[in-house]
Structure 1
Amino acid sequence: MSGLPATVPHRLTGRRVEVTEPLDLGGRGPGTAEAVGFLRECQSLGLSVSWRATGSPRYDLGALRHLPPPDELPSKADELAAWRSAYSYGSLYHRRGPGFVTVLDRRDLGTALRLTLDHPALCGVFLRLLEPTPLDALDATGREAAALLAAERLVLVSAGWAVTLPPRIRRWPVPCTAI
């Protein structure tokens, strides 16, 4: 145990979260998975987030454009501008049913993709990876499921860690058809 806090240092004021330390998007360990999971949960609760990014991502940042963009993204001004222009609340989310998960993905302009995960392994891994998880903690079937979900851009896999990307929307805007 390193003695570091298990959560991202942040301050919550009303419906706004201010993250006090930069979040590592570099993809070199559990920090990136935890940062993405934290941002996903903030979005799930309908919170606005002010945060700064650090690190140089080795993965497609387009997979994160459903999350609120950072205030700063060092040496990636073009990608930050693209993220800001593409961001829309509710562009990626999931809903759960008995034995299945449905995902709506509108991250790419002009497309809307609805996926239903009803295979027990895919559904189970999708839900398990809501908590950032090392791939080594999954069995062979779980790692295969994580790879399939990553290929669909529903899971971010980086440096041996994986985290589910779509939030479960718990606070819908009024009217809810705004999403």
Structure 2
Amino acid sequence: MSAPPGEVPYRLAGREADVARALDLSGTGRATAEAVRFLRECESRGLRVTWRAAGSPSYDPGLLHHLPPPLELPGHEGELANWRAAYSYGSLHHRRGPGFVTVLDRRQRGTAVRLTLDHPGLLAAFLRLQEPAPLDAVDPEALALLTAERLVLAAGGWAVALPPRIRRWPVPCTAL
């Protein structure tokens, strides 16, 4: 198994990743996009992540409730409790096919939304945002649609896709 990519210093021991420093969730630049990508990739690989958050989110933190919650979210204890209650492995994920991506979003309790991205512009933007990118590097119309569907975090001049590509599959195969 390959390790999660990114610029986040961490230690990998078995199926656990321990992040060395607090991850910036403020949404003020590239550091937030890199942190979200790192957490998304850990989720994708089924790794248990031990991490702490820094910064006060300038976006709806509910966008991240499909990712493992931090040990600490200074100044936002209520939000941390909500995150812990809402988190469930696989509640937002994607699968790829030839010329399309299917996304299943179960972040909202009691609902399941299935989206198929097969329009070339949307698909290209989604795949491009597997890596954090400056906002001007992505088609603005596609970015607006993906952001409206809560599939992309766009903050601080940077954007990154939110749904992990599940590689460890405890999610029932009939769920997608």
TM over 0.5: yes
Q: Which runs of 5+ in 1 are unaligned?
A: 1-5
Task: Give the drift of 1:137.
Answer: 2.1
The residue that corresponds to 2:154 in the other structure is 157
1:8 counterpart letter in structure 2 = V
1:153 counterpart letter in structure 2 = R
1:144 partnered with 2:141: yes
1:91–1:38 distance in 2 versus 1, CA, 3 Å: same
CA distance in 2, matches of 1:177, 1:135: 35
Give the SS at the match of 1:8.
Answer: coil
1:79–1:174 distance in 2 versus 1, CA, 3 Å: closer
The residue that corresponds to 1:26 in the other structure is 26
Task: Give the drift of 1:85.
Answer: 0.4
State how many pairs are aligned.
Answer: 171
Give the SS at the match of 1:157.
Answer: strand
CA distance in 1, matches of 2:49, 2:155: 23
The residue that corresponds to 1:171 in the other structure is 168
CA distance in 2, matches of 1:125, 1:11: 31
Give the SS at the match of 1:67.
Answer: coil
Taking the TM superposition and a 5 Å limit, the aligned residue runs for 1:89-100 are: 89-100=89-100
Give the TM-score, by structure 1 length. Answer: 0.92
Taking the TM superposition and a 5 Å limit, the aligned residue runs for 1:9-158 are: 9-138=9-138, 142-158=139-155
1:54 counterpart letter in structure 2 = A
CA distance in 2, matches of 1:174, 1:13: 24
Give the SS at the match of 1:26.
Answer: coil
RMSD of aligned residue pairs (Cα, Å): 1.6
CA distance in 1, matches of 2:168, 2:25: 26
Q: Deviations over 1:77-98 (max 9, x none)?
A: 0000000001000000001111
The residue that corresponds to 1:3 in the other structure is none
1:157–1:109 distance in 2 versus 1, CA, 3 Å: same
The residue that corresponds to 2:3 in the other structure is none
2:108 counterpart letter in structure 1 = D
Give the SS at the match of 1:162.
Answer: strand
1:158 counterpart letter in structure 2 = A
Give the TM-score, by structure 2 length. Answer: 0.93
Question: Contact (CA 8 Å) 2:39, 2:67: kept in 1 or not?
Answer: yes
Task: Give the drift of 1:168.
Answer: 0.2
Task: Give the drift of 1:174.
Answer: 7.9
2:12 counterpart letter in structure 1 = L
Task: Give the drift of 1:173.
Answer: 2.2
Question: Contact (CA 8 Å) 2:134, 2:159: kept in 1 or not?
Answer: yes
